[in-house]
Chains A and B, each alone.
Chain A
Amino acid sequence: MTVVTKRWALSLAVAAFALAAQGADAEALKKVGKGEGQVDIVAWPGYIERGETDKAFDWVTDFEAKTGCKVNVKTANTSDEMVALMNEGGFDLVTASGDASLRLIAGKRVQEVNTDLVPSWKTVDERLQSAPWHTVDGKHYGVPYQWGSNVLMYNTKIFSEAPKSWDVVFKEMTLPDGKSNKGRVQAFDGPIYIADAALYLKKHRPELKIEDPYSLDEEQYKAALELLREQRKIVGRYWHDAFVQIDDFTNEGVVASSSWPFQVNILKSKDAPVGSTIPEEGATGWADTTMMHVDAPHPNCAYMWLEHSINPKLQGDLAAWFGSVPAVLSACKGNQLLTDEGCEVNGLGNFERISFWRTPVADCGGGRQCVPYYRWVSDYIAVLGGR
């Protein structure tokens, strides 16, 4: 109890101090010293494996042996949970997605990373090094960890070649097997899917002038909802649980849907007739960054982990495990678990065509007014309800 109160008081004091000394960020470490014996990390499930689920996937044990820093992982299932845990404090690192990272930076919960102390920083994919979801005013607030894209998964028995466009899941049409797609396609059961519709419109309704599917003004937003209402008529069930979708492709006669490489890999491992593609419109995706808490209790161990987190072996193993793409390109070669095709399969070549996930906000810059996320939620609920 008292510890918690103290921690609260401390973080309040820090917050007050940060507010008082605006701009004067917490000073970054100058030199990595001796480890403190442990490092506490908030991570997505499956992101930090120590061989407990599958012996082949272990990138913690050797780190602990080498540095003497015991790794404690707290898994979080949503970005909100991650932000809440970081606000509470007591953790060193977090594997934040694009919708959480900027919130953490704006809330001054994470500190600038001194890239000189992460020797492998220069091996990080150049396209990620200064990505806007962790770099603000030229300062890096984290080390890229992994990224991935949503894909169009399809049944190879129905489609002899990959569908060229997302319209197979948006518009009612006759599929190559001569039957309608009604009731045989799926869409994601989350408001962020509105961005997928916007991405489709960006290509097919150029007069709407959609640039970024996460910043939509009223008119663009209305058009996206319109498209989704049409889609509701052909979608039997929306998916939110990866395993329910896997089952729907096996038992429910679903032949095309937006999906993650994760489901594609599992279905392929069961010899199910599925393939995946990123159609001409591009796709939405996610990019995660390991960020360091502003008052991390174990900064030395944290820096050691940051360095460890981008070693090619870990990056390759993790990509194989999660169906994602490494932040370090050298990981794509010679990794047994990932194989040399793994990176391409998981979407390496599609970086430019992916719109990375961000939380839509009302003030979307350049004096534009955009529709904020909470409205995406209530309107997507209405769309699902058939309105």
Chain B
Amino acid sequence: MTAQTIAVPPPARASGAGALQRLSTWLYRHPRLALAILLAPPLAWLGIVYLGSLLALLAQSFFYLDGFTGLIVREFTLRTYAELFTGSNLDIILRTTVMATVVTLACALIGFPIAYYMARYAGPRLKPLMYLGVMLPLWSSYLVRVYSWKLILAKEGIVTWIFAKLHLLWLLDAILSIPVIGGPSLSTAYLGTFLVFVYIWLPYMILPIEAAIERVPRSVIEASADLGAPPRSTFRHVVLPLAIPGVVAGSIFTFSLTLGDYIIPGIIGSSRPFIGQAVYSHQGTAGNIPLAAALSVVPIVIIAIYLRIAKRLGAFDAL
């Protein structure tokens, strides 16, 4: 609207500006209406497109698939949810949750020292470089990175080659022979899935931690030293508690992203399905939309619980 007014040639300008001014005054006198006009489009988006589809999904999960006809019966029932508690579905849920938890812990363990160094020690030249290093992988396609990891971890890939050159193949074989996490090669083992998950989501952990540590005032640390605390105590009792919200914020990203991903476990790993993959197979020709919907409610519930805990820990102060 403004653009139009500006484009109007000079003679018409006076009346145009007058109308605009009147409108502006009128809106000024009706602040609530102005607010409503401003907020209507985003609220409509949130309400209809976002929450609407979420509710549609939720509604589907209360229907069930008639085993005899293979048709969806649109009646309220909880039997689809009961199906979630069968062995193989529980396996899938457990498998995905454990993977998300372990990936999150590993990301925090690796990410914290990097973030700490970036925030406290990196000089004005090194710091932008480190930022770049953390962000750079995000500039290339997710799929390209996953497929290249498949090559890196392959039986005839570079990791195996390095182990062979170092005469450490026995070590790799020993690791791969561990039940559950092992497999014929790194790229067909849970271990490989785990490594790739950690690699892909690590930046989302480092950046919030870095932001949190950066916000710890230097004076607080100096005060701690002045009061006679050795560096170890300062770290434990001052820096760490103040940085924890950052860790929790980062963990929300890594945890929820791992929980929902269905591409990485499809390309790397032993083909044991994760939640996302199961959802993907149940919709489609199978037409078991209710079960697919019920399965996709599971991560929502897990994340909701997780967010509640995170909120208690003050994670949202660091976002």
Give A contacts to B, CB under 8 Å. Answer: 78-80, 99, 182-184, 189, 191, 235-238, 240-241, 244, 247, 250-253, 359, 361-362, 372-378, 380-382, 384-387
A362-B281 contact given A191-B286, A237-B270, A384-B272, CB 8 Å threshold: no
Q: When chains A and B are docked, how far (Å) is the Cα of A272 from the Cα of B91?
A: 38
Does A253 lie within 8 Å of B156, measured CB to CB? yes
**Would you list which residues of chain B between 132 and 174 have a CB under 8 Å from chain A?**
150-151, 154-157
The answer on a CB contact under 8 Å between B281 and A381 is: yes
Contacts A252-B187, A362-B68: A237 and B91 contacting too (C-beta < 8 A)?
no
- Inter-chain contact A251/B157, CB cutoff 8 Å: yes
With beta carbons under 8 angstroms apart, the residue of B67, B157, B271 that contacts A238 is B271
State in angstroms the CA–CA spacing of A252 and B154 once bound together: 6
Given contacts A99-B285, A235-B271, A384-B273, contact A378 B291 (CB under 8 A): yes
* Shortest Cβ gap from B178 to chain A (Å): 14
Given A374-B70, A385-B91, decide whether A251 and B271 contact each other with a Cβ distance below 8 A. no
Cβ contacts under 8 Å, A387 to chain B: 87-88, 91
> Quick one: given A183-B188, A236-B188, A251-B156, are A372 and B272 in contact (CB under 8 Å)?
no
**What is the CA–CA distance of A333 and B183 in the complex, to the nearest angstrom?**
47
Of all A-B residue pairs in the complex, the 8 with the closest CB atoms, nearest first, are: A183-B184, A382-B88, A251-B154, A377-B286, A236-B188, A236-B184, A238-B271, A374-B286
Most interface-central of A238, A251, A362 (chain B CB within 10 A): A251
Task: Check if A253 sits within 8 Å of B70, measured CB to CB.
Answer: no
> Are the CB atoms of B284 and A362 closer together than 8 Å?
no
- Cβ contacts A to B, 19 pairs, < 8 Å: A78-B285, A79-B285, A182-B184, A189-B266, A235-B271, A236-B183, A251-B156, A252-B154, A373-B285, A374-B65, A374-B282, A377-B282, A378-B291, A380-B281, A381-B92, A381-B281, A384-B272, A386-B91, A387-B88
Instruction: For the complex, give the distance between the alpha carbons of A111 and B188 in Å.
Output: 47
Asked if B267 is an interface residue, CB under 8 A from chain A, the answer is: yes
Q: Does B278 contact A (CB under 8 A)?
A: yes
B156 touches A244 (CB 8 A): no
Is B271 a contact of A189 with CB atoms below 8 Å?
A: yes
Q: How far is the CA of A244 from the CA of B264 in the complex (A)?
A: 12
Bound Cα distance A385, B69 (Å): 27
Q: Is the CB of A252 within 8 A of B188?
A: yes
Chain B 50-88, CB-CB to A under 8 Å as 1, else 0, gives 000000000000000101111000000000000000011
Bound: A375/B281 CA distance, A: 11
- Asked whether B97 is an interface residue with its Cβ less than 8 Å from the other chain, the reply is no
Q: In the complex the two chains form, what is the Cα distance from A236 to B286 in whole Å?
A: 25
Kindly state the separation between the CA atoms of A240 and B262 in the bound complex, as whole angstroms: 13
A253 engages B185 (CB within 8 Å)? yes
8 Å CB contact of B272 from A250, A375, A386: A386
Residue of B88, B155, B156, B185 touching A381 (CB-CB under 8 A): B88
- Whole-angstrom distance between the alpha carbons of A182 and B67 in the complex? 36
Check B95 against A385 for contact (C-beta < 8 Å): yes
**How far is it, in angstroms, between the C-alpha of A384 and the C-alpha of B277 when the chains are bound?**
11
Please determine whether A80 and B266 come into contact, CB atoms closer than 8 angstroms. Answer: no
Are A184 and B267 interface neighbours, CB within 8 A? no
Distance of A103 Cα from B67 Cα, bound (Å): 19
In Å, the complex CA distance between A235 and B185 comes to 12
Given A247-B151, A252-B155, A373-B70, the answer on whether A381 and B271 have CB atoms closer than 8 Å is no
Docked CA distance A378–B70 (Å): 13
CB distance from A263 to the nearest CB of B (A): 16
| B269 interface contact, C-beta 8 A | yes
B287 proximal to A (CB < 8 A): yes
Judge whether B288 is part of the interface by a CB distance below 8 angstroms.
yes
Complex contacts, A250 vs chain B, CB 8 Å:
156
The residue of chain B having its C-beta at the shortest distance from the C-beta of A239 within the complex is B271
Distance from B244 Cβ to chain A, minimum over Cβ atoms (Å): 36
A378 touches B88 (CB 8 A): yes
Closest CB in chain A relative to B194 CB, distance in Å: 15
Contact B281 A377, beta carbon cutoff 8 Å: yes
Measured CA separation A109–B95 after assembly (Å): 42
Q: Is the pair B156, A236 in contact by a Cβ cutoff of 8 Å?
A: no
Name the B residues within 8 Å of A372 (CB-CB).
67, 70
The closest CB in chain A to the CB of B281 belongs to A377
CB distance from B129 to the nearest CB of A (A): 33
Task: Please give, as numbers and ranges, the residues of chain A lying within 8 Å of B288 by CB-CB distance.
Answer: 374, 377-378
In the bound assembly, the distance between CA atoms of A99 and B284 in angstroms comes to 12
A182 to chain B, nearest CB (A): 8
Q: Which residues of chain B from 272 to 302 have any CB-CB distance to chain A below 8 Å in the complex?
A: 272-273, 278, 281-282, 284-288, 291
Extra A-B contacts (11), CB below 8 Å, given A78-B285, A237-B188: A80-B285, A189-B266, A191-B286, A237-B270, A251-B155, A252-B184, A252-B185, A362-B67, A376-B286, A378-B286, A385-B95
Q: B278 to A236, Cβ gap below 8 A?
A: no
Contacts of B282 in A (CB 8 A): 374, 377-378
Residue of A191, A236, A247, A361 touching B281 (CB-CB under 8 A): A191
Q: Measured between alpha carbons, how far is A361 from B273 in the docked complex, in Å?
A: 25
User: Across the two chains, which residue of chain B brings its CB closest to A83?
Assistant: B285
Q: Give A80 to B68 CA distance when docked, in angstroms.
A: 21
Check B155 against A253 for contact (C-beta < 8 Å). Answer: yes
Distance A282 CA – B310 CA, assembled complex (angstroms): 57
Cα–Cα, bound, A381→B95 (Å): 13
CA of A189 to CA of B154 in the docked complex: distance in angstroms? Answer: 19
What is the minimal beta-carbon distance from B191 to any residue of chain A, in angstroms?
A: 13
Q: Give CA–CA (A209, B67) in the complex, Å.
A: 24
In the complex, what distance in Å separates the CA atom of A99 from the CA atom of B155?
Answer: 37
**Chain A min CB distance to B157 (Å):** 6
B176: nearest chain-A partner, CB-CB: A183
CB atoms of A373 and B272 under 8 A apart? no
Shortest C-beta distance, A302 to chain B (Å), equals: 26
- Whether A247 contacts B271 by the Cβ 8 Å rule is no
Q: How far is the CB of B151 from chain A (nearest CB, A)?
A: 6
Q: How far is the CB of A157 from chain B (nearest CB, A)?
A: 14
Instruction: Provide the bound-state CA to CA distance between A17 and B278, in Å.
Output: 39
Chain B: CB-nearest residue to A237: B188
Q: From residue B48, how far is it (CB to closest CB) to chain A in Å?
A: 16
Q: Once the chains are docked, how many angstroms separate the CA of A359 from the CA of B70?
A: 12
A-facing residues in B238-278 (Cβ within 8 Å):
266-267, 269-273, 278
Distance A80 CA – B157 CA, assembled complex (angstroms): 37
Quick check: B183 and A251 within 8 Å, CB to CB? Answer: no
Which A residues touch B65, using CB under 8 A?
A: 374
The interface residues of chain A lying within 8 Å CB-to-CB of B157 are 251
